[in-house]
Amino acid sequence: MTTDSELKTFQIQQEKFAGPLDLLLSLIEEKKLEITEISLAQVTDAFLRHVGDIKQANAGILADFIVVAAKLLLIKSRALLPTLELSGEEEAEIEDLTRRLEIYKLFKEASQNLKKIYLKQPLFSREFLFNQTPIFYPPQNLSVLDIQKAFQKIWEEFQKLGEEISVEKIKKIVKIEEKIKDILNILNQGSNLMFRNAVKKSEKIEIIITFLAILHMFKEKMIMIEQEQEFGEISLTLPK
């Protein structure tokens, strides 16, 4: 379970550094060093300082940083104490870190390749059955009599309803068109509108009408809708 604030901290961390290898790589590149054991030893202190800053973040990411920090400390210890004997496993871990950092660096470059072309010249496809006229295929054994009977039934239902519908009830309901106008008015004045504020009286029917209105507007590409998480606040903006 992650709370909102944890999620936020996580996202901030994500924005700054995509992970411990990203942090390590940027520290090394800042100093214009090659990826070697010696340069890793040199940036160990800076790395640890950054890890100290993310203590508040959720335990999941912190663990990933600490794993790398432990390896760095090992490297640094050996740099300071040349006589320090490392086990085969530890030697392998150090090598593994430099190798992984090399590979990470390459993919970091590859991600720039993607960034350069993403949405620059996209290819468009026809949506499946886009513009398709609906066709009604009646069942083979359908007769005129069946249709007549069905209509008769509906007619009788209507007769029964008759006076039950009260004019009063219908009057109260806000029209979708009005709602759309309202929302557009507000959006044209300011930057964005929260769904919660688009509903004036928090009556169920008004909420439904407002929701239908924004769905309709979205379909017509009149507005953009954003909802960061399930059941979260819905934010409306005009398309740019």
Partner 1 sequence: MPESLENNNDNANIEGSAVETNINKELQRQIEGLLFIAGEPMALSELIKLLEKTEEEVKKAIDYLKEDYLNNQRGLTLVENENSYQLTTHPDVSEIIAKYIKEILKEDLSPASLETLAIIAYKGPLNRMDIDNIRGVNSSFILRSLLIRGLVDRELDPHRGNAYTYRPSFDLIRKLGLEKLEDLPDYEKYRTL
**Site of interaction with partner 1 (CB under 8 A):** 10, 14-15, 18-22, 60-61, 64, 68, 100, 103-104, 106-108, 110-115, 117-130, 221, 224, 239-240
Taking the CA atoms of residue 31, residue 35, residue 36 and residue 42 in that order, the dihedral angle to the nearest 10 degrees is 30
d(CA 86, CA 79): 12
State which residue, 22 or 90, has the beta carbon closest to partner 1: 22
Q: How far is CA 169 from CA 157, 172, 199, 202, 212, in A?
A: 20, 6, 19, 17, 19
CB of 59 to partner 1, least distance (A): 11
Give the closest residue to 211 by CA, choosing from 184, 176, 186. 176
The least CB distance from residue 190 to partner 1, in Å, is: 20
Residue 97 buriedness (CB in 10 A; 0-12 / 13-18 / 19+)? buried
Q: How many CB atoms lie within 10 A of CB 210?
A: 22
Nearer to partner 1, 116 or 169 (CB): 116
Closest CB to partner 1 among 182 and 235? 235
Closer CB to partner 1, 81 or 119, in the complex: 119
Q: How far is the CB of 49 from partner 1 (least distance, A)?
A: 18
Structure tokens at 110: 């590859």
For partner 1, give the closer residue by CB, 122 or 138. Answer: 122
C-beta of 130: minimal distance to partner 1 in Å? 6
Q: 21 or 174, CB closer to partner 1? A: 21
Cβ count near 48 (within 10 Å)? 15
- In the complex, least distance from residue 236 CB atom to partner 1, rounded to whole angstroms: 14
Angle, vertex CA 181, rays to CA 175 and CA 182, nearest 5: 90
Closest approach of partner 1 to the CB of residue 124, in Å: 5
